[in-house]
């Protein structure tokens, strides 16, 4: 099992030895932000290359998500999403990233007949087009729950493709805020599609991205993934080294 941490360049620069020595996986998150893609992408990649030159672990990246809707019924929105995803993917590839995390964008507030089927149809149109680009660039994709009440809709999409390179990312904080299901239930339902987990805590109301134990999430369900070497555990913790150490202590005390 990969012991990972989500990072931004400013975070890594503050104390690079902590992240390079204590983790065997790092997730680069700078390329999720449109401002970085607009003007700073190449410069960020150059700085990351220098700082990661001695890193022996694996890398992933978080894809753009603000107003990016791969399941939009508007093909122009899909085209913009593809453009932004492609920008981020190529920057990640340059650094050696092997996986890109993107949001599912399923919105359960859409309470009208046919929404789920429409979401599936539109999402399929996007991924039919984008997955070959990912495969050509040797980049796996993990679909992350955000507002999802349950994993069934994501699974419907993933089952259409049956690709080892198109899986699911379980975000513990999002699941706690938006879903009434336990982490154990999510893990069991996602099964072999689960390839990545974002770990952070909150108190059930806001996406606080706290270290585990500082909110009220029940993390006991994570025992279901023990022994699965194919899953990356990535701390998405707001803060710097102190918060990173709290996450590391949680991972080590949990036996991962």
CATH of the domain at 81: 3.20.20.150
- pLDDT range class, residue 18, cuts 50, 70, 90: very high
Is 1 a residue whose pLDDT tops 90?
no
Overall domain count for the chain? 1
d(CA 157, CA 118): 12
Sign of the Cα pseudo-torsion (178, 182, 187, 189, in order):
negative
Q: What CA–CA distance (Å, rounded) separates 33 from 40?
A: 10
| Residues of the domain holding 137 | 2-253
**Phi and psi at residue 193, to the nearest 5°:** -75, -20
Residue 256 confidence (pLDDT): 82
pLDDT of residue 171: 98
Q: What pLDDT sits at residue 227?
A: 86
Are the CB atoms for 241 and 249 separated by under 8 Å? Answer: no
The average confidence (pLDDT) of the chain is 96
| Per-residue pLDDT tens digits for 163-208 | 999 999 999 999 999 999 999 999 999 999 999 999 999 999 999 9
Whether the pLDDT of residue 13 is over 90: the answer is: yes
Strand ranges for the chain from DSSP E: 2-7, 25-28, 58-62, 99-103, 140-144, 166-171, 194-199, 232-235
Task: Summarize the confidence of residues 91-101 as an average pLDDT.
Answer: 98
If we measure between CA atoms, which residue out of 167, 175, 169 comes closest to residue 148?
175
pLDDT at 255: 84
Closest CA to 170 of 140, 206, 194, 202: 194
pTM (2 d.p.): 0.97
């Amino acid at each position: 099992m990969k012991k990972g941490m989500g990072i931004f360049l400013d975070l890594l620069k503050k104390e690079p030895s902590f992240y390079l020595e204590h983790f065997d996986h790092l997730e680069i998150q700078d390329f999720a932000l449109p401002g970085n893609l607009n003007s700073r992408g190449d410069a960020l990649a150059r700085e990351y290359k220098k700082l990661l030159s001695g890193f022996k672990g694996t890398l992933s990246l978080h894809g753009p998500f603000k107003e990016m809707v791969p399941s939009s019924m508007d093909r122009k929105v899909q085209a913009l999403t593809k453009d932004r995803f492609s920008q981020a993917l190529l920057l990640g590839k340059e650094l050696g990233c092997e996986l890109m995390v993107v949001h599912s964008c399923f919105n359960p507030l859409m309470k009208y007949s046919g929404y789920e089927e429409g979401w599936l149809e539109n999402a399929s149109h996007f991924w039919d087009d984008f997955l070959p680009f990912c495969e050509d660039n040797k980049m796996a994709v993990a679909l992350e729950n955000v507002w999802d009440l349950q994993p069934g809709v994501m699974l419907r999409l993933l089952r259409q493709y049956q690709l080892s390179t198109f899986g699911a990312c379980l975000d513990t904080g999002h699941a706690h805020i938006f879903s009434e299901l336990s982490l154990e239930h999510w893990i069991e339902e996602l099964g072999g599609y689960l390839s990545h987990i974002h770990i952070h805590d909150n108190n059930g109301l806001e996406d606080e991205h706290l270290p585990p134990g500082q909110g009220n999430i029940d993390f006991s369900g994570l025992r279901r993934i023990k022994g699965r070497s194919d899953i990356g555990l990535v701390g998405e913790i707001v803060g710097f080294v102190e918060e990173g150490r709290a996450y590391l202590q949680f991972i080590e005390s949990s036996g991962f």
